């Protein structure tokens, strides 16, 4: 495998390293497995004669453990490197999930799901760290986009498969998920084990990029705010309240909730096909601002819909906004961390922001929906996204300067403005190093 993200001539390549596609393939397999087990988990917990609250706690335990273990995961990546932490994280989730199928009581299931959360944060933090190191600065947005698309497509496919497996056996989805994770671990280990690019910069000579340094950057603070809002809205409120909104507010069959989630995922996937490239050409900041604004307005609108067509339209628009935001904020964090420092704790902090939002969003919005109205709950959720706009409006653009020059040359070449063909900036013609994001 390649040892450099750029050709020897000094020209910037438009191709993602093959190692990035390995991570994308693994993320697809992981997401399919997660989608397979999602329909079975609440019912399996309820089979131990516990109530709705106890069944919900099993689901929340995973997120709580991810949040609590995130700082440890960042340190593990710092000391042991991304590849081993990534593979072992997958193995831990695989073993704990497979063991869930053999849980003899509710408390065993709760403990095993909590253990799975530790492995989940291990492979998430290490995967993002790997993605940052493997992706050339001018392709970070695209790399984040295709990686997110892999997860999204897996999340679309998984529940369909999982619904069928539940009909055969309530335990079968857990075993299937375990196998899927082991496959992903093997794929990552096999294709990255001899990669000099994936193994680069693992020595301790690289300085540690601390959280104290990171929070001095306005771009990183903006990414924390938007990721918190994303966790609150997309991973929390959307999943928790939409099924209740469909049945209690719209008075429709709960199947429309699944259709809404599919509409969101579909529009999200379509936008991700080009939003990563836009983040690399137009900048991180415009897409983050646009994504937050669109999603915030769509969530407010969703709470006031009174018909299925309007409800689905709001879901579609929210998916578009999320598709614009996701690669932009991830690429901005990658720009801040850079390739010269070890950023495990900083990446863990970025993940923790989403986990906190995922935990708080459903709890607070659920209280508002129950005691006030669904309109209030979705309006507050939308304003959470809009409030996250403020730090982005105050944030500088982090897209490296050389990437902008490279993009300008490509656009000029494609439009026929260059007389001698698509000449790209080279190391001799572009003085200095890529511009580093300023706090």
- Residue 339 confidence (pLDDT) above 80: no
- Residue 429 confidence (pLDDT) above 60: no
Average pLDDT over residues 310-338: 87
Q: Which pLDDT does position 229 carry in this prediction?
A: 92
What does the pLDDT look like over 38-76, one tens digit per residue? 667 766 777 777 765 566 667 667 778 887 887 787 778
Can you say whether residue 49 is alpha, beta or left, with left for phi > 0 and alpha for psi between -120 and 50 degrees? left
- Residue 302 confidence (pLDDT) above 80: yes
162 pLDDT band, cuts 50/70/90, is: low
383 pLDDT band, cuts 50/70/90, is: very high
- Is 269 in contact with 320 (CB distance < 8 Å)? no
Report helix, strand or coil for 342: strand
- Residue 101 confidence (pLDDT) above 90: no
Query: How many alpha carbons fall within 13 Å on the CB side of residue 28?
Result: 14
Q: Which residues contact 133 (CB under 8 A, 6 or more apart)?
A: 82, 198, 200, 201, 339
Which of 24-38, 136-150, 271-285 shows the highest mean pLDDT? 271-285
Handedness of CA 198, 91, 57, 45 (dihedral sign): positive
- Residue 31 confidence (pLDDT) above 90: no
Q: What are the DSSP E strand ranges found in 43-99?
A: none
| Nearest by Cα to 104 from 47, 40, 34, 172 | 47
Q: Chain-wide mean pLDDT for the chain?
A: 75
Rounded Cα gap, residues 233 and 385, in angstroms: 8
pLDDT: is 52 or 361 the higher one? 361
Q: Which pLDDT does position 4 carry in this prediction?
A: 40
Report helix, strand or coil for 40: coil
Average pLDDT over residues 334-340: 75
Cβ atoms within 10 Å, residue 65: 20
pLDDT: is 21 or 42 the higher one? 21
Q: Which pLDDT does position 341 carry in this prediction?
A: 66
Q: Which pLDDT does position 433 carry in this prediction?
A: 39
Q: Which pLDDT does position 233 carry in this prediction?
A: 87
Query: What secondary structure letter does DSSP report for 13?
Result: P
Which of 101-115, 400-414, 416-430 shows the highest mean pLDDT? 101-115
pLDDT: is 230 or 165 the higher one? 230
| Nearest by Cα to 12 from 435, 434, 437 | 434
228 pLDDT band, cuts 50/70/90, is: very high
427 pLDDT band, cuts 50/70/90, is: very low
Rounded Cα gap, residues 319 and 223, in angstroms: 19
What does the pLDDT look like over 113-136, one tens digit per residue? 888 888 888 888 777 777 777 776
Query: How many alpha carbons fall within 13 Å on the CB side of residue 314?
Result: 22
What does the pLDDT look like over 235-255, one tens digit per residue? 777 766 776 787 778 887 766
| Nearest by Cα to 389 from 317, 313, 325 | 325
Distance of CA 285 to the CA centre of its chain: 18
What residue ranges define each of the domains in the chain, with the CATH number in brackets?
16-193 (1.20.1250.20), 210-424 (1.20.1250.20)
């Amino acid at each position: 495998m390649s040892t450099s993200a750029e050709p020897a001539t000094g020209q910037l390549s438009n191709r993602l390293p093959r190692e990035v596609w390995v991570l994308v393939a693994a993320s697809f397999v992981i997401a399919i497995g997660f989608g397979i087990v999602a329909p079975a988990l609440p019912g399996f917990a309820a089979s131990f004669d516990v109530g709705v609250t106890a069944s919900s706690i099993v689901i929340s335990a995973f997120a709580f453990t991810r949040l609590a273990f995130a700082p440890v995961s960042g340190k593990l990546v710092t000391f042991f490197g991304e590849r081993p932490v990534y593979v072992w994280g997958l193995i831990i989730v695989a073993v704990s999930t497979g063991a869930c199928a053999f849980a003899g009581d509710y408390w065993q299931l709760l403990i095993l799901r909590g253990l799975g959360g530790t492995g989940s944060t291990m492979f998430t933090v290490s995967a993002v760290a790997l993605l940052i190191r493997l992706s050339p600065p001018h392709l970070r947005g695209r790399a984040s986009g295709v990686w997110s698309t892999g997860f999204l497509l897996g999340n679309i496919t998984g529940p369909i498969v999982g619904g069928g497996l539940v009909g055969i056996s309530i335990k079968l989805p857990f075993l299937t998920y375990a196998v899927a994770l082991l496959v992903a671990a093997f794929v990552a280990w096999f294709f990255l084990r001899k990669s000099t690019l994936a193994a680069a910069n693992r020595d301790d000579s690289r300085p540690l990029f601390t959280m104290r340094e990171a929070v001095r950057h306005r771009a990183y603070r903006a990414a924390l705010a938007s990721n918190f809002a994303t966790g609150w809205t997309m991973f929390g409120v959307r999943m928790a309240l939409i099924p209740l909104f469909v049945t209690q507010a719209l008075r429709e069959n709960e199947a429309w909730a699944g259709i809404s989630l599919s509409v969101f995922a579909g529009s999200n996937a379509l936008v991700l096909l080009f939003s990563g490239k836009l983040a690399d050409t137009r900048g991180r900041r415009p897409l983050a601002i646009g994504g937050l604004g669109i999603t915030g307005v769509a969530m407010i609108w969703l709470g006031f819909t009174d018909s299925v067509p309007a409800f689905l339209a709001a879901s579609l628009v929210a998916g578009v906004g999320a598709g614009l935001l996701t690669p932009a904020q991830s690429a901005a964090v990658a720009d801040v961390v850079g390739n010269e420092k070890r950023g495990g704790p900083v990446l863990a902090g970025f993940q923790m922001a989403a986990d906190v939002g995922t935990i708080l969003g459903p709890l607070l919005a659920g209280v508002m929906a129950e005691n006030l109205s669904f309109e209030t709950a979705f309006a507050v959720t939308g304003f959470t996204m809009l409030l996250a706009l403020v730090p982005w409006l105050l944030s500088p653009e982090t897209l490296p300067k050389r990437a902008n020059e490279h993009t300008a040359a490509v656009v000029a070449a494609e439009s026929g403005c260059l007389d001698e063909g698509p000449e790209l900036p080279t190391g001799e013609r572009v003085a200095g190093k890529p511009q580093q994001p300023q706090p």
